[in-house]
Amino acid sequence: MYTYLYQNCPFGPLQILSDGDRICSVGFAPADSSTESTPDSLCLECARQLEEYFVGKRKSFDIPLKMNGTDFQKKIWETLIHIPYGSTITYGDLAKMAGHPRAARAVGNAMRKNPLWILIPCHRVVGTADLGGYGGPDGTPIKRRLLLLEGAIRTEEKA
């Protein structure tokens, strides 16, 4: 059985979804987020860790994750989890690290399908000439704010 929790963050309301054993998704809350749920302890722990992250007190997460995707997507996401806080990497470099050196475009597609926003830090993947794209309602401005929070870019750097 799934439980979920709605949590406010600096970018709007998030929905955290748990299957009781692992966090299945973290993303922007749907428009009809008025439905009630009694969150389990894992949802509550995830919310606590996200709050710490957003105020700069947490640099990594230690919650069990359920990665639903293709084998390729899972390989990309598992590789991405190891990109340190405050660092960035290009789509091409991530493709190489994951053992698929010619798959930079496919890496971008895997990033778009990431169900675990922030926990799998796709905001740390950038283009060679700019920040690259980012999902969510405000896209690239949110990516910029996350990278600023982590100190990966400075305010005067161009997007």
Set 9, 24, 46, 122: catalytic member:
122
- Distance between CA atoms of 15 and 43, rounded to whole angstroms? 9
Long-range contacts at 42-49 (CB < 8 A, ≥ 24 apart): 42/18, 43/3, 43/4, 43/5, 43/16, 43/17, 43/18, 44/5, 46/5, 46/16, 46/18, 46/119, 47/5, 47/7, 47/16
Both tokens assigned to 62: 């230690």
Find, among 97, 60, 12, 25, the residue nearest to 4 by Cα: 25
* 122 included as an active-site residue: yes
- CB atoms near residue 90 (< 10 Å): 16
Q: Do the Cβ atoms of 3 and 43 come closer than 8 Å? A: yes
Give catalytic residues, as residue numbers.
Answer: 122
